[in-house]
Copies of this chain bind each other. A is one copy, B any other.
Amino acid sequence: MFKKFKIPDATIGRLSLYSRYLREADDKGIETVSSQHIAKATGVTPAQVRKDLAYFGEFGTRGVGYNSRELYSYIMKILGLSKRWTVAIAGAGNLGRALSQYKGFYERGFDIACIFDTDPKKVGRKISGIEVNHISTLADNAKAHGIELGIIAVPASVAQEVADLMINAGIKGIINFAPININTPDNVMFRRVDLAAQLEYLTYYLEDSR
């Protein structure tokens, strides 16, 4: 099912960063950028930039650099972002509400189409213009809206149950914010986001200066 070859997650993360810089450069009217420019703006080495791009072919002109707009479009295509994606969020608590209003999703091509919860106080209310539906309607709504990606923002105790509902509804990619591991079949792409782990990138370096 997944034809693409496995490249390091870190490369995908950096491609995402490069594309954001290239978009900015293009918006500012900068037509050509070098691997040095991209590297400096994104905090990696120029060699790393070239290595990451080399996974996907040959880009740019030696001694000249890359055309900002072309490379941006190409990376967006690699990341699967040349078309928009339709997303459902499970959980209308603080995190679900924050995610449903997060502008960064729309900017990168993600449209939040549905929000689900079980709380009678939340079901029927609107968040950013989207009605919160009962989680029991997930399959029907996923079909009606063509949901491709799911975000789990429910308590850990019900995260697996919600993931199973998403998988049964045919959702092929799931991000889990609940602090628990979830079992998913091999044909579903799955990623756990651990917010505490983000702080640990800092503490590793700060430990010595305490």
Q: Which residues of A come within 8 Å of B, CB atoms? A: 1-4, 8-10, 12-13, 16-17, 20, 78-81, 83, 85, 87, 93-95, 97-99, 101-105, 107-108, 110, 148-149, 151, 156, 172-175, 179, 189, 191, 193-210
Which B residue sits closest to A77, measured CB to CB? Answer: B207
Residue numbers in B under 8 Å from A79 (CB-CB):
200, 203-204, 207
Main secondary structure of the interface of A (DSSP, over half): helix
Complex A-B: 17 CB contacts under 8 Å: A2-B209, A4-B204, A13-B197, A16-B197, A16-B200, A79-B200, A80-B200, A81-B203, A85-B203, A87-B199, A94-B94, A103-B179, A107-B196, A110-B199, A174-B202, A191-B198, A193-B195
Q: Which of A12, A104, A172, A199 has the most CB of B within 10 A?
A: A199
